[in-house]
Amino acid sequence: MPEDTFTTDFERKFKRAHMLHHQNFDPNLSEYKRSLRPMPRGQHALSLGPAFLFIYDYHAQQYAYVGKEVERVLGYPPEALRQGGVRFVTQRMRPQDAEAFAQMVLRALHHLRYDIADRERAQYSVSFDYQIRHANGKYIHILQQSIELAYDLQGNLVFSLEKVTDISHRPPESSPMLSIYGPNADGCLIYRPHHDTTTDSSFFTRSEMRVLQLLDKAMSTQEIADRLDLSINTIATHRKNMLKKAGVSNTPKLLRLAQSKGIL
């Protein structure tokens, strides 16, 4: 997509979104880049490593912007990520990290939506690490940090600004980790996905698990029915059965319980 087309389309959608912080949008991202870069004095000492920025559009499920520095960090041109989307990236992660990455993203989205007040979300930052294969074939250790730029009127995340840094000089953790930090300690979170799949299979059926995973993506009963090609009544029955099995009264409590048991 030509840069001018991207700027026009992105700015139009961004202005439609429900802003959680009030500032003028800079289509060139100058202010955002400046806020994430170290100050010129001592920048080599303070920088974690080579980095690039991108903006992700959760509604369109694609990269709305990818900085040209991505080629220096991952060895791929910006067009490769914009055209290939998240799948292009996850296919190049270590298999166990790709699975963990999916769990961490869902956990972060759920936490931001249900556990942090609407007007406080913009004050929180999210970070997670993983290993990904560079264009030269070697795996590098990545730290991905994000701030949420805009939500829609239903509270769904629309755009996030993210910084990806090569931290291969640091020894990787034993497993990927999600961190969410902000001014309120109650809203902070440290989460390590469970790599094993030894969850209690008798707790939820396979069909219920499919519904649960889509509920964790904040999909409605109608949307889940459309996705799974099932009737609304069937999805409603699955939801009712899961609430009864879990002994909880509503979906947010169900999701929290599933996460605490390592099911999500």
- pLDDT tens, 166-214? 999 876 656 788 999 988 877 888 888 754 433 444 467 778 888 998 9
Task: Enumerate residue ranges in the chain where pLDDT < 50.
Answer: 1, 3, 6-7, 18-23, 25, 27, 36, 38-46, 195-202
CA distance linking residue 5 with residue 11, whole number of Å = 10
Task: Quote the pLDDT of residue 133.
Answer: 96
Task: Quote the pLDDT of residue 88.
Answer: 95
Does residue 10 sit in helix, strand or coil? helix
Task: Quote the pLDDT of residue 42.
Answer: 42
CA distance linking residue 72 with residue 68, whole number of Å = 8
Nearest alpha-carbon partner for 73 in 134, 161, 131: 134
Q: Which pair of tokens denotes residue 24?
A: 């003028």
Greatest alpha-carbon span in the chain? 62
Distance of CA 108 to the CA centre of its chain: 6
Task: Quote the pLDDT of residue 34.
Answer: 61
8-24: pLDDT as tens digits = 555 555 555 544 443 45
